[in-house]
Amino acid sequence: MKILYSLCLLLFLAGQVIAQDQEAIAKVDTSFWLKEIAGGININQASFSDNWKGGGVNSVAFSVYLNGRTSYAKDKWSWDNQFDFIYGVVKNKGEDGRKSNDVLFLDSKVGYKINDKWNYFFGVNFLSQFAPGYNFTETERTLISKFANPAFLTTGLGVEYKPNEEFSLRISPFSPRWTFVTDTDLYLNIPENYGVEIGETVRTEWLAFSVLADWNKKLSENLTIKMRYQMFANYETIDFETIDHRLDVALIAKVSNLINVSLTSLTIYDIDQDSKIQFSQGLALGIAFKRGNFPRKE
């Protein structure tokens, strides 16, 4: 719950800062900058009377999110930054609270224009989670993850295809990655230890290839889709089964100025975590805000 309170406070403060500075920002020359920040609070609840014959369990779910991006472009140089913070909890009657979502993603990229659609680039991104995660049984829970356990720091040097401000595709023939598991006892619950050698806290993969595709499209006045696909392959162990894939998808429908409905999904394949595809999905109704000047006007 401390995580939830902290994120809610961060969300509130972000909204206040944006509201107070909006007029001042408009007076500043921001012709080289694009900025956008969005956040929201989602709540889901279900309850049943004691004599309800249809089956069901009382439950409440709560989640908060905050994401943003900035883009600077002048002459042949560009600098793009992005962050996604998401955290959610679900509480069913008779059970402990459990995470329903937990994402911490930071990304920064510097580009040098080749032509109108292609750039050379160097980028770095960090992926982890905020809070501990558990496997639950009827009698106990087992720790399987927490902040920086695991965490992935991935760099990339290569070329980028960016036809507009909505879509980008990065291809990195040289993409070193560091996988962190700072808790040296976590392997007792996760024998694979997320690919990190037991007794060590970091795994370094120098010779690697990666792809990152990002699509943020306003489909209509009230409907937006966000997709991010990441692929990582280690040249030393390259094989179809050892290539990592991650796909994040969010479809957001605006009901009013403050209310929206969001459908999110996350698909992961990483043999260092599990030999099968992992999938999660969520549907939520909540309060949201969004400010910014994306996309760039030609």
Average pLDDT, the chain: 86
Distance (Å, rounded) from C-alpha 45 to C-alpha 54?
Answer: 17
Range scoring the smallest mean pLDDT among 110-114, 184-188, 284-288, 294-298: 294-298
pLDDT at 23 over 80: no
- pLDDT for position 43: 81
- Tokens 């961060």 -> residue: 10
The band of 15, judged by pLDDT with boundaries at 50, 70 and 90, is low
CB 92 within 8 Å of CB 111:
no
Residues 253, 256, 258: CA angle, nearest 5 degrees: 95
The band of 95, judged by pLDDT with boundaries at 50, 70 and 90, is confident
- pLDDT for position 281: 83
Domain boundaries, given as residue ranges, for the chain: 2-287
Q: pLDDT tens for residues 132-179?
A: 999 988 788 999 999 999 999 999 999 999 998 899 999 999 999 999
- pLDDT for position 136: 86
Residue type for position 132 = P
Q: pLDDT tens for residues 180-189?
A: 999 999 999 9
**% of the chain beyond a pLDDT of 90:** 53
Distance (Å, rounded) from C-alpha 110 to C-alpha 90?
Answer: 39
Q: pLDDT tens for residues 208-230?
A: 999 999 999 989 988 999 999 99
More confident residue, 25 or 154: 154
**Cα separations (Å) of 240 from 176, 179, 213, 270?**
19, 20, 20, 11
Residue 161: which residues within 8 A CB-CB, separation 6 or more?
117, 118, 168, 169, 171
The number of beta carbons lying within 10 Å of the beta carbon of residue 186 is 20
The architecture that CATH gives domain 2-287 is Beta Barrel (2.40)
Helix (H) or strand (E) holding 212: strand 208-220
